[in-house]
Structure 1
C-alpha cells in the first residue's frame, strides 16, 4: 500500500444554524459580564429612582421618625402629634368644657373626674346663682393657654372620646380641676382624685363655696332643691305676671317653688324684695 507524503486535508466543521449561533452569543455575553456603558446607564437609573422616592415620600428619609421629632409646641401647631410610641399625644388644646378638650382632631375626656355641664348653675354661699359650668371651662382654658399639653390614655368611652390624664407642663390637669373645686372625683369609675376633692371641700373653693348638684345627677335632670335661710323665708317667684314675692301664710306660699336657676330667690324682708324689683302678690282673686 502506497502512503501519500501529503497530510490529509482537514475536514471543515459543519456550520451551526443561525439560531444556535445567536443563542451562544447571548450566553457568551453573559459570561463576559455587562459592558461599562451599560453599568453607567444602570447606575444613572438607580440614582434617578432614589431621588424621586425621597421627593414624593420624605418620611422615608433617615431621622424623620426619630423620638422627639414629632413633639410640637402648642404655640407652633394645633395638630395632634404622637409624642412617643407609648400613646401620648402632644399639641395645643382647645377647651370644650371643664373635663373635655381637643387636640387636633381628637376629643379627650379627662379620666377620673366630672365637671359641671356648660349650662349648669350652682349656688354661692350668699344664695346667688352663677354658671359654675362656664366657670369650670374658663379655669381649664386658663390652665392650658399658651402651653404644650400632653395627654396619655389608651381607652375610649362609649362616645369614642379618648380617656386620658393630661398635663400642662408638670401640672396634672385632672387633679388640678378637682383641687380647685371646679370638678368632682368621678367616683363611679375611679377614686383616684378623692383626696383632691376632700381638700377642695375643706377649703370651700369652686363649687364647694355653696351648694350644687353633682354633674352626673344634673345630666339626669336633678336640680338644687332651694331652701330658705333661718329668717329669710319670703319667696321671690318669677312668673308670667312678673317678679312677685309671697309672704308666709299667703294663699300661694306653699305651692310656690323657688328655682335659683331661673333667677328666683329668697328674701329676708319685704323691703329687700321691693328694692330688688319684686312686688307683693295681689289679692286671692288675682292670677298671681
Structure 2
C-alpha cells in the first residue's frame, strides 16, 4: 500500500520538492550583471540584484554613466573562459533558474556584491550583507557615486532613496530615475528595439524587422533597448508580426 501511495505524493509535490534539481555546469554567456545563460538554460543569480542594462548611475564628478552595462561587462571580463557550477533552487516567473553559482570555485554572487556591481537582495537573502557593507566602505563599483537600488529603479518614483558614497548633485533624482534607453543603443550588441503599441502591448523589433528604422527611441514613449530575444520576451514583449 505504501509503495502505491508514495509515487502519488511525489507527483503532486512542487518540482523543487519532488526532486532535487541537477547542477548546471559549463561556460556562461553573461546577459546582465545577475543573469547568465549556460547552454540553453537561463540563470538568475540568487541572493543579489544588479542594475538593469539601461540603468544609470552618477560618478564622483556628477556625471551619469551606464552602471548596468558596466556591471555586465565587468562580470563577463572576470569570468571569461572559466567554468561555472550553478545549484538551482527554483524557477522564477520568467522561466529562469534561480541559482547559487561558483566560477572556478569562487562564489560569484559574493564577488559581484563585494566589487560593487550588485547589492545584497535582502528581501530574499541576508547572505551578502557583509560584502555590501565592505563595498560601500571601499566605494567600489556603483558605490563610488550615487545610484538607486535595482529593485527600486524597476518601480521608481520621485520618493526613491538615493544610495552611494558621494553627495548627490541637485538634479540627481531626475538623472537616476531616467533610463539609458535613449536614441543610441547602450552597447553594439543591444540593438533590439522595444516599443509599446496603442493597445499597451510591448513589441520588439530586430534589425531585420520591417519597421525597425521607423521606431524612434524616446524614453517618454516607453521605448527601450534589448540585448537578446530572450531578454525582450522575458520583459513581456512579443516579436512584431512584420
Tell me the TM-score normalized by structure 1. 0.49
When residues 149 and 262 of structure 1 are mapped into structure 2, their CA distance, relative to the original with a 3 A threshold, is closer
Structure 2 counterpart SS, 1:217? helix
Instruction: Give 1:179's match in structure 2, choosing from 114, 118, 123.
Output: 114
Q: Report the 3-state secondary structure (helix = DSSP H, G, I; strand = E; otherwise coil) of the residue aligned with 1:109.
A: strand
Mapped to 1, the partners of 2:21 and 2:44 lie a distance apart of 18
Q: Does 1:196 pair with 2:131?
A: yes
Q: Structure 1 179/262 Cα, relative in aligned 2: closer, same or farther at 3 Å?
A: closer
Please identify runs of 4+ aligned residues in structure 1 that moved more than 4 A: 223-226, 260-263
Please list the CA deviations of residues 102-131 of structure 1 after superposition, one character each: whole Å capped at 9, or x if unmatched.
011110000000000000000112211100
Listed as ranges, the gaps of 5+ residues in structure 2 are 1-19, 181-242
Distance in 1, matches of 2:28 and 2:174, equals 39
Correspondence list, 1:228-243, <5 A: none
Structure 2: distance between partners of 1:160 and 1:262: 25
The corresponding residue for 1:259 is: 175
State how far apart, in whole Å, the 2-side matches of 1:164 and 1:259 are: 33
CA RMSD of aligned residues (A): 2.7
Question: C-alpha separation between the residues in 2 aligned to 1:86 and 1:156?
Answer: 10
One of 110, 113, 121 as aligned partner of 2:48: 113
* Structure possessing the higher radius of gyration over alpha carbons: 1
1:126 to 43, 61, 85: 61
Report if the CA contact (8 A) 2:27-2:82 is conserved. Answer: yes
Aligned partner of 2:88 among 153, 156, 163: 153
* Contact residue 151 and residue 164 of structure 1 kept, 8 A: yes
State yes or no: 1:218 paired with 2:153.
Answer: yes
Q: Is the 8 A contact 2:116 2:135 kept in 1?
A: yes
| In structure 2, C-alpha distance between the alignment counterparts of 1:262 and 1:109, rounded to whole Å | 22
> Could you tell me whether the CA contact under 8 Å between 1:121 and 1:131 is conserved in 2?
yes
- Report the CA distance between 1:166 and its aligned residue: 1.0
Structure 1: segments with no counterpart, 5+ residues: 1-84, 236-256, 264-288
Q: Against the structure 1 CA distance between its residues 92 and 202, is the aligned structure 2 distance closer, same or farther, given a 3 Å change threshold? A: same
* Aligned 8 A contact 2:120 2:127 in 1: yes
How far apart, CA to CA, are the structure 1 residues paired with 2:21 and 2:153?
36
